[in-house]
Amino acid sequence: MKIQFNTDKNIEGHERLEIYFTEEIQKDLARFEEKVTRIEVHLGDENNAKSGVNDKRCVIEARPAKLQPIAVTAHADTIEKAFFQAVEKIKKTLTSTFDKQHAH
Catalogue all structural domains in the chain, each as residue range(s) with its CATH number.
2-87 (3.30.160.100)
Q: Is the pLDDT of residue 104 over 80?
A: no
CA distance 51 to 34: 40
Q: What is the pLDDT of residue 21?
A: 93
Rounded to two decimals, the pTM is 0.89
- For residue 77, the Cα-to-chain-centroid distance in whole angstroms is 16
DSSP strand E in 53-92: where? 56-64, 70-76
Beta bridge partners of 72: 60
Residue 9 φ then ψ, to 5°: -70, -10
Tens of pLDDT, residue by residue over 15-69, are 888 899 999 999 999 999 999 999 999 999 887 766 667 789 999 999 999 899 9
Ranking 49-63, 66-80, 87-101 by mean pLDDT, the lowest is: 49-63
